[in-house]
Structure 1
Amino acid sequence: MKNYSIIHLSAIAVCSILMVSCGGGNDYTNTSRGTGWDVTGKNGFELKTKYKDQDAAPGLVFVEGGTFTMGRVKDDPMHDWNNTPNQQHVQSFYIDETEVTNGMYLEMLDWVKRVFPPEDEQYRGIYNGAVPDTLVWRNRLGYNEEMTKNYLRFPSYANYPVVGVSWIQAVEFCNWRTDRVNEKILVDQGYVPKDQLGKATATELFNTETYLNAPTLVYGGNDSITRGGKRSEQLEKTRGKLAERRDTDTTGLYVRREDGILLPGAYRLPTEAEWEYAALGMGSVREYNAYRGRKKYPWNGQYTRSGDRKTRGDHLANFKQGDGDYGGIAGWSDDGADITAPIKSYEPNDFGVYDMAGNVSEWVADVYRPIVDDEFNDFNYYRGNVYTKNSIGPDGKVEVVSADSIDYDTLSNGKLIARTIPGEIKQVAVDDEETYLRTNFDRSDNRNFRDGDSQSSKYFGTADELDPEQRMYDSPQHRVSVDADGNVIREYDQANTRSTLIDNEVRVIKGGSWRDREYWLDPATRRFYPQDMAKDDLGFRCAMSRIGSKSKKSKSPRN
């Protein structure tokens, strides 16, 4: 009887593991749950049923999402009233382990310089627009000239956070990084030739969205690149494809979004809610489904020095400790840096993320407003959505930016920057085709939504477009233009009636820096800065959305 029970239980276990038809069960591995049809491609439709969970892309660490109180600070000495506590929920995401370093940024600059030589008049604006502003180190009553020359490029600073980068430049770095990582994936998977990574030219560039939407147009339409990898060659040989049929059957020759091979998301700047949540790292003060007390800093406790026996008294971050005191007395009690510090100089927080307090303040994606509108949304909060769509040409295909159609923009400080580069799909604002009778969005640009648009101002109903002098935020309006001879004309707003610096072109910055006092180390503090300007204590890190399950491992009750 005992032997029978063991055999019986073993059979049940085997049936469960193999998911075979034991007792009326069904195997849905290769068949549709809806129709019962085969989904392996035999009938035309193919569904990827075997795939692994999303891995962290290069440089990123996983942050499991959840609820937290955003904007809660212990003190408000600035009396800004912009830290009103509100409960938010953040989806799981990935964030850079460290700030983007000089070495990482120089890698992009080298690539841009090779692909778009600045000595070529046609491309000069691309490289010049990507170079950080090294003059941010100058101080009218301080000597920092060696920093202007060496901080970005000297090898000793390669692992220091990059500074002098505007919000616009940080966004472009994220876009560049996405394309380079995905291109390497295609090379490693055998879809693109191995030597392609070092052979990019202005007319043959890889762009992720172009590849996924119109693979025949990527690399300038060069078919020998998009199908030049070993995998593509093997697929064609295996099927016995004839040369004349190459353009009629492309099944398996290009990676699709459905294949799950390329990054499921793009590198981007973290939202303010994501950054604050990742900086807090509340896991260590959690008990069941509640947080015990509150953490003032990314580390445990209420102090900026370590209380551990072995490291008692050591600094936990790099920040300004008082007038003329940027690191402490030289020796054991010094924080190890007078300006920025090398990445990973201090211990990471509970998520494994470094330098979320001190070192440099960081750009986040959000447009700044004094109030976080949690009454309208408390899930993945973000202000700054500008919805676009792919531009479709007369031939019905997406329009790809060429070397002759690069869009440049003159910033408020007079600098020229490339808004598009060759290989990208041209973007246009969404219109009535996407917004008509929708309840979730009704316009392309939502930066002003419920705070600055016509519906939220006292001039509601006066006109479709508000008079410039009837704006909710009466910020300066500097104008920059270029005349027919290419000369930049700067017109500074000299009005003495302006009441604020807030507008749609300022972005939130988070975290204290080496120039800041202790108060700014609290992750809930927030400030803003023009998106086209830079500072010597302001850097950034990238993030990426988590696609799929909320957590990386299954959960089980503790008791």
Structure 2
Amino acid sequence: MKALFTNTALVLLSFGTLLSSCSKPPQSQKTGMTYNNRNNGGYLRFKQTHPTPGPGLVPIEGGTFVLGGSADQDVTYDYNNVRRRVTVPSFYMDETEVSNQDWLDYLHWINITFPNDGELYYNALPDTLVWRKPLSYNEPYVENYLRHPAFQDYPVVGVTWDQAQDYCIWRTDRTNENILRENNYMMTWKDAAGGGKKGAAPAAGAQGGLKEPFNTDIYLNGQIRGAGVDGKNMPKDNNPNVAPGTAKGGPRRPVRIEDGILKQGYRLPSEAEWEYAALSLAGNTEFENINDGKIYPWNGLGVRSPNRKTRGLILANFKRGAGDNAGVGGGLNDKADITGPVRSYEPNDFGLYNMAGNVNEWVADTYRQTSFEEVEDFNPFRGNEFTNKRLADPAKGLYAKDKYGRPIKDPAKSNKKLKYSDMIAQQQGLNNGTAAGTTPATGATVPLTTPNSIKYSGKAYNPDFRGASDSVNTVLYGTTTLVNDHSKIFKGGSWNDLAYWMNPATRRFMDEDESSAEVGFRCAMTMVGAPEIHPEGKPHLPVKKAKPYKAK
């Protein structure tokens, strides 16, 4: 028996050696050069991967649907959701709304990272005064709703659109920093805290050995590295211009976007993404045929469960009628008087909770009544403000940073890639404290190459496309109109709304620096690569691999 085991082991070992000898390093299909070889120049090819979603997210397989199509009536006579067939690419979306606990994590980080910056902490606080009503005793919610542990898994409210945007940036950086540290691409949390030794002081306080808080853009630009920062598992650097050094296994480098390790940025979903995800028609689709439409995130025309075990139960947290926010004592219909826990009720077919009721949710779009008629039919969105990262050193490509370690961004000055000389001149003007494209003395335009937008149309390039040529004058905001470029959309209905507003096609707006006890948010993330999420069990056309090239 022992001899048999030994012979089997030898056969397996020989087979494994044969396989390893047959496997060749990847090579360029166009030049035949071997990749990842320091001796021939270190051309890089990374393992092709389909990234997993970031923490808290679920994948949403995109496709075509009718934007505004689930609205069967326009009771407000706004005429602002005209039906339009569009395509939404696959993306990721938060399984739940952002909760009070999630926001307290954010506040805690600000407190320990910038303990002397009272302004930053104050600006991040939700406005708990949104609970105050002149003829309603809601004062206890002002003090308790955000911080009391009884409400920790309830959705955060009183948050402005601007605050939600800042949270998305913070969440992106904390998630990516944690990925790097947990995998030792950067110094681990334990090592940064003194190796866990008793009495050892954390390196550089709450920033884990960094002089400034971690920022994803700054890290990917190679501006966060060095002693006390680099981890033991950093990828090998095959660049032949880098000195070999004394590091075990050769020189190392920071993670790059090509490695596929870091996550895309968290952000607010677009209006089209939010509506598509709320409807979740994928659950009613077979062979590209939608068997049944929806007017809510669940099937059917009613708001009660038709299932045997839960028959008659309300499917969302909303207001049934005037004065009825919860139902009758002893048998509360939706189990909530104000908001409810973010995992209440059944998720929709995409696995998303509370896409109707509980709280309305901010989306990224700027409001215009005619957006559905004007936006592109692929990945529709109204809110683009094109920016470029300012360079502190244009020759070295180093980004300029603000006092919180984040890149400074300026409005884009061209609709195309500038010539190198024009880019250098523009960046030097910014670093000298002048507006891009002007001289400090006269304000005259710097003699850069004339962009095509001016050359052919006579109009200067506009980096802000939120208005999309809309002529509404912001001076008249509040006088003749409540709509301007600061008007942002929220959707979904809330605990204090009637059932009509739970229809995913309904849309309302509020100024980006206003907040409400009925408005919260959830985050989304762009998906890169193939849009199909579950290819298993489906027919596919075969794809042939490239034949290896042999130099003769």
Q: Tell me the TM-score normalised to structure 1 length.
A: 0.77
Map 1:159-308 onto structure 2 (within 5 A): 159-195=153-189, 196=192, 199-201=205-207, 203-213=211-221, 215-216=222-223, 218=224, 223-227=226-230, 229-232=231-234, 241-242=244-245, 252-263=252-263, 265-308=264-307
Distance 2:219 2:463 in 1: 25
Distance 1:116 1:375 in 2: 44
Distance 2:128 2:376 in 1: 39
Of 45, 49, 52, the residue aligned with 2:49 is 52
AA partner of residue 50 (structure 1): K
* CA RMSD, Structure 1 to Structure 2 (Å): 3.0
Of 524, 528, 534, the residue aligned with 2:515 is 534
Of 407, 430, 434, the residue aligned with 2:412 is 430
SS of equivalent residue, structure 1 residue 95: strand
The answer for unaligned runs of 5 or more in structure 2 is: 1-14, 194-201, 418-450, 541-552
Deviation at 1:309, TM superposition (A): 1.3
Matched, 1:377 2:392: no
Deviation at 1:38, TM superposition (A): 0.6
Q: Measured at CA, do residues 234 and 519 of structure 1 come closer, stay the same or move farther in structure 2, by a change above 3 Å?
A: closer
Of 40, 58, 64, the residue aligned with 1:61 is 58
Distance 2:368 2:107 in 1: 33
Distance 1:557 1:255 in 2: 36
Distance 1:515 1:502 in 2: 24
Matched, 1:347 2:361: no
Matched, 1:443 2:462: yes
The answer for unaligned runs of 5 or more in structure 1 is: 1-13, 22-26, 404-421, 453-469, 477-497
Aligned residues: 464
Is residue 130–residue 158 contact of structure 2 (8 Å, CA) maintained in 1? yes
Is residue 29–residue 49 contact of structure 1 (8 Å, CA) maintained in 2? no
SS of equivalent residue, structure 1 residue 356: coil
Is residue 65–residue 550 contact of structure 1 (8 Å, CA) maintained in 2? yes
Is residue 191–residue 226 contact of structure 1 (8 Å, CA) maintained in 2? no
Distance 2:20 2:281 in 1: 39
Q: Measured at CA, do residues 433 and 341 of structure 1 come closer, stay the same or move farther in structure 2, by a change above 3 Å?
A: closer
Distance 2:20 2:356 in 1: 49
Which residue in the other structure is 2:531 paired with? 550
Which residue in the other structure is 1:110 paired with? 108
Q: Measured at CA, do residues 552 and 160 of structure 1 come closer, stay the same or move farther in structure 2, by a change above 3 Å?
A: same
Which residue in the other structure is 1:408 paired with? none
Which residue in the other structure is 1:71 paired with? 68
SS of equivalent residue, structure 2 residue 178: helix
Matched, 1:158 2:161: no
AA partner of residue 259 (structure 2): D
Distance 1:19 1:279 in 2: 49
% identity of equivalent residues = 42
Q: Measured at CA, do residues 442 and 378 of structure 1 come closer, stay the same or move farther in structure 2, by a change above 3 Å?
A: farther
Distance 2:371 2:25 in 1: 45
Deviations 1:524-549 (A, max 9, x none): 00000010011001000000000001
Q: Tell me the TM-score normalised to structure 2 length.
A: 0.78
Matched, 1:139 2:133: yes
Deviation at 1:376, TM superposition (A): 5.2
Q: Measured at CA, do residues 191 and 319 of structure 1 come closer, stay the same or move farther in structure 2, by a change above 3 Å?
A: same
Of 142, 153, 164, the residue aligned with 1:148 is 142
Which residue in the other structure is 1:92 paired with? 90
